[in-house]
Structure 1
Amino acid sequence: MAHLLDSFQRYIAVNELLPPGGRVLLTVSGGVDSMVMLTLFIRSGYEVGVAHCNFQLRGTESDEDEVLVARQAARYGVPCYNRRFDTAAEMERTGESMEMAARRLRYAWFDELSRQYNYPAIAVAHHADDSIETFFINLLRGTGLRGLTGISTQIGRVIRPLLFASRKEILEFAVAEHIPFREDSSNRSTKYLRNKIRLGLIPRIREINPKFTSLMRSNIARLTDAQLFINHGIERIRAVAVTSADGLDTILLDRIDPAFPRNFVVYELLSSAYGFKGDVIDSLCHALDHGTTGRRFYSREYVACTDRGNIVVGPIPAGDDCMTTVERGAPRSYCGNSVLYFEYCDIDTIENFGVPEHIAQVDVDKLRFPLTLRRWREGDWFIPFGMTGRKKLSDFLKDAKVSVAEKGRQFVLLSGDDIVWVVGRRIDDRYRLTRETENVLRITKEIV
């Protein structure tokens, strides 16, 4: 199995990920991918440290992963840093999904470790199959070309030196070299989209084409080259079509060559520099097509406004209530540093009527579309779920001991003038599910 070690060393050299013998912090979970990565780095003569996160979500399984990683690091005589996270409490506090909370916690800690102990690089054990799965996840959720380029080899300090290898090659190396590893039981759950793709979709495609993995690696490489080419072209367009003054950027659409697909150029200009998402940009382009002036569209940090056939972009000003509309059937909407996902369900498919605060389930037939999403205002009121009388939203937030900073980030979802959901906190009792409910709108808030 020497070819995997040779390929590993060649991949690092060709992509200039690390100098020979350089210092690198390895993120090791105990799974086969990261345990093989640890062995490859040791055999290649790098100066490594091992970082392991125990998210305390799988009971004794999580603890046994921690023990294995510490034992293997001791065997190789390298430093091992371990951190236990109360992930469940963090999910409750922020309203994030398990994946989002765990990702944010671990990368913040990895960055802290790398700076504290002077590791110029942080190595993550993503491999070719992970990149292919990411391609399909983005394809199914809706994406531009950038989302089809898989996982990047390097972003800042984070490097991914196993992207050349398939899951099969890594597993065969582990077995041949007697490398210990543990299997995460959650990898077999089809509750997660990635696992549905890994366990359901990809095996069926591989039946049609056994060379699917190598074919997709080539496809993703070509798509990545295409995106790099587009990036270069977009920067040329930006230099001609975008002007800046008084803290605002103006995209002058008449300076874009009419031979270019205008909406695609707008997408690239807004997504790469300002973080706007695809469906927000689609709505903006629709407003441009209809000559609408003064419509505002939001990313996490910026607001874009249609202005007599041009687009003016700037930071969201203090006091802006970030009002947007949500059409029936819209898959998602953005509010501040969060995204709301909308799912339309039949009442018979609802398994849990008691849901955590970051999820709302309301009677869709009582709603008047389009809905409105905005920051809360003084004077807002609603009837909190379980109560019969109206309550000022300011009093509700005060009783909930919401900090001043959190109040500034509080959004509400409205049907007409009625608050349907104080986002991430409480629905209005008038829109609750009842025995008469037939159709449900399920809304999930995730921090991005």
Structure 2
Amino acid sequence: MLARFKKHIVENFQFLENKKLLLATSGGLDSMVMSHLFQQLNFDIALAHCNFQLRGLESFGDQTFVQEYAATNEIPLFVTQFDTEAFAKDYKLSTQLAARDLRYNWFYELLETENYDYVLTAHHADDNLETFLINLSRGTGLEGLVGIPEQNDKIIRPLLLFSREEIANYAAENTIQWREDSSNASDKYLRNKIRHDLVPLFKELNPQFIASFQKTQSYLQDAQTMLEDASIIVYQQLAKKEEDEIYFDLKQLKRLPNYKSYLYQWLHEFGFSSWNDVYDLVESQSGKQVFSADFRLLKDRDSLILSPIHAEKEKSEYFVNKNSTEVNLPLNLSFCKVSDLSLPTNTAIFVDEDQLEFPLVLKRWKQGDSFQPFGMEGKSKKVSKFFKDEKLSLIQKENSWILWSGNRIVWIVGLRQDERFRIINSTKNILKIELEDGSQGF
């Protein structure tokens, strides 16, 4: 196994040479074999042990075992203890997910504070198979079947090539000691049920089952890569990014015979899980929405619009005093007195300053707001109707700002000035209000 491992590292992980490596070490069979292998290859390693305090004295026995091993072999060691059950309760997680979050957060912290380059974990081929079967039993896309990645950012898994049996044989041949986790014998967890009951049956049916599974998974990984490549090409043709929003062209999307697969590929990383609701948006009426924890997908005419949900609510009102020359929140607006007049535009208007009631107020629109659009003397119009005529999306409506003078609208910023503040022959003081570059009114 040592020769195969060395060849595996040279061919696939040569970048680990001369790097400082942090080995996740529980004290169990897999991590102790991994530690032994890297010592044989003379890598610069340290051990990182998490005591999750889930098995009473046994957990502290594991910690002591790893501490003694590190001291005997003169290997740097980092140890931490977690109140895993309290963390799981506070964040409403399963114990396993809580332990995973705690572990990886600590690993990344160590990389930064202790100047290590990579974290190595001892996941092996049987772990990969068990993960595959768990995902298969729950229902998953292709990415759930391609297995545990050999590298995920700074996390490296160099033992995925080897089966649990190979690792156990290597430990026996080299008299490597380890600690047995008593929870591995329990069928409390789904993974253990698969490990104890299902996998042995597959191996009985086919003694080369692990090798066959690895070959199949290699094909699945190739298919996943091909899917990702195709997804990128199609995305570039029908998706457009504007600011922090992404627009998907529905006319082009619906021409694809398998557009649901593309939607899943593009959107799953944004946390969506109600996929039937996502797919139904394609044929639904404008205004329908689907939410993930942090994002919203909106149907708007011939587009699906993906946008983030901002956690912090902005102030509802911003005041502009009489002598202000600029404001920077929520928009970049400038105010200056001028003597020359030009036609107003979407980004610059000219108003009769003497008609203004200060302080002016910038705030979001609400149902029932009305104004007199520039050029429509004596005629009022609901802001909602104006938005509809301008074909603004729901997101654009939500992002619009209105400049008020008392109870009258001065400007739907970036869109239309109010007629009541226009310059007339008797105007003495002209105020130019301009929306600066890089800012937007809706």
Structure 1 position 21, deviation (Å): 4.1
1:59 paired residue among 56, 60, 69: 56
Aligned partner of 1:275 in structure 2 is 271
Aligned to 2:225: 228
Matched, 1:91 2:84: no
The 3-state SS of whatever aligns with 1:205 is: helix
Displacement of 1:19 after TM fit?
3.2
| 2:251 paired residue among 244, 250, 254 | 254
State the 1:259 CA deviation.
4.8
Whether the 8 Å CA contact 2:250–2:282 is kept in 1: the answer is no
Q: Is the 8 A contact 2:281 2:289 kept in 1?
A: no
The 5 Å alignment of 1:432-443 reads none
2:287 corresponds, among 279, 291, 294, to 294
How many Å apart are 1:258 and its aligned residue?
Answer: 3.0
Alignment equivalent of 1:79, drawn from 72, 76, 79: 76
Whether 2:299 is the aligned partner of 1:306: answer: yes
- CA distance in structure 2 between the aligned counterparts of 1:136 and 1:13, rounded to whole angstroms: 30
CA shift at 1:188, angstroms? 1.4
Specify the code of the residue in structure 1 equivalent to 2:221: T
The farther-off stretch of 103-112 and 238-247 is: 238-247
Paired AA for residue 303 in structure 2: N
- Amino acid across the alignment from 2:297: A
Structure-to-structure mapping, 1:62-141, within 5 angstroms = 62-141=59-138
What letter is aligned with 1:90? F
The separation in 2 between residues aligned to 1:204 and 1:193, in whole angstroms, is 16
Aligned partner of 1:303: which letter?
A: R
After alignment, is 151-160 or 13-22 more displaced? 13-22
Cα deviation for residue 104 of structure 1 reads 0.9
Residue in 2 that maps onto 1:153:
150
Give the aligned CA root-mean-square deviation in angstroms. 1.7
| Contact 1:237 1:256 (C-alpha < 8 Å) held by counterparts | no
SS in 2 for 1:202: helix
Whether the 8 Å CA contact 1:17–1:154 is kept in 2: the answer is no
Pairing of 1:305-344 with structure 2 (within 5 A): 305-318=298-311
Quote the offset at 1:309 in angstroms: 4.8
Cα deviation digits, residues 275-302 of structure 1 (max 9, x gap): 323xx1222113434x333222122321
Instruction: Give the 3 Å change call, closer, same or farther, for CA 75–21 of structure 1 in structure 2.
Output: farther
Q: CA deviation at 1:103?
A: 0.8
Which deviates the most, 8-17 or 239-248? Answer: 8-17
Aligned equivalent of 2:279: 285
Match of 2:31 in 1: 34
The reply on whether 1:50 has 2:27 as its aligned counterpart is no
The two structures have a TM-score, normalised by structure 1, of 0.67
Which segment is superposed worse, 70-79 or 32-41? 70-79
Candidates 173, 176, 180, aligned match of 2:177: 180
Query: Structure 1: which amino acid aligns with 2:197?
Result: G
2-structure distance, mates of 1:176, 1:232:
45
- Deviation string 1:142-192 (CA, Å, 9 cap, x unpaired) is 111011010000011100000000000001111111100011111111111
Superposed CA offset, 1:15-37 (max 9, x none): 23633343100000011000000
Query: How far did 1:12 drift?
Result: 2.0
CA distance in 1: counterparts of 2:288 and 2:135, whole angstroms: 28
Corresponding position of 1:370: none
Q: Within 5 A, what are the aligned runs for 1:210-229? A: 210-229=207-226
- CA distance in 1 between partners of 2:280 and 2:243 (Å): 27
Of 241, 245, 250, which aligns to 1:244? 241
Query: Is residue 30–residue 69 contact of structure 1 (8 Å, CA) maintained in 2?
Result: yes
Distance 2:126 2:181 in 1: 17
Aligned 8 A contact 1:21 1:45 in 2: no
Paired residue for 2:373? none
Change (3 A) 1:293 1:136: farther
Which SS does the other structure have where 1:18 is aligned?
helix
Amino acid paired to 2:167: I
1:167 aligns with 2:167: no
Alignment of 1:345-384 (within 5 A): none
Letter in 1 for 2:272: F
1:187-226 → structure 2 map (5 Å cutoff): 187-226=184-223
Given that 1:17 and 1:159 are in contact with CA atoms closer than 8 Å, whether structure 2 keeps it comes out as no
Aligned counterparts of 2:22 and 2:303: Cα–Cα separation in 1? 47
Provide the secondary structure at the position in 2 that maps to 1:220.
helix
Deviations 1:274-333 (A, max 9, x none): 2323xx1222113434x333222122321111223531100013589xxxxxxxxxxxxx
Segments of 4+ in structure 1 off by > 4 A?
Answer: none
% identical equivalent positions: 38
Gap regions ≥5 residues in structure 1:
321-448
Q: How many residue pairs were aligned?
A: 313
Q: Could you report, residue by residue, the CA deviation over 1:49-72 in whole angstroms, capped at 9, with x for unpaired residues?
A: 000001111011111111111111
Corresponding residue to 1:9 among 2, 6, 11 = 6
- Which secondary structure state, in structure 2, belongs to the residue aligned with residue 276 of structure 1? coil
CA distance in 2 between partners of 1:31 and 1:112 (Å): 23
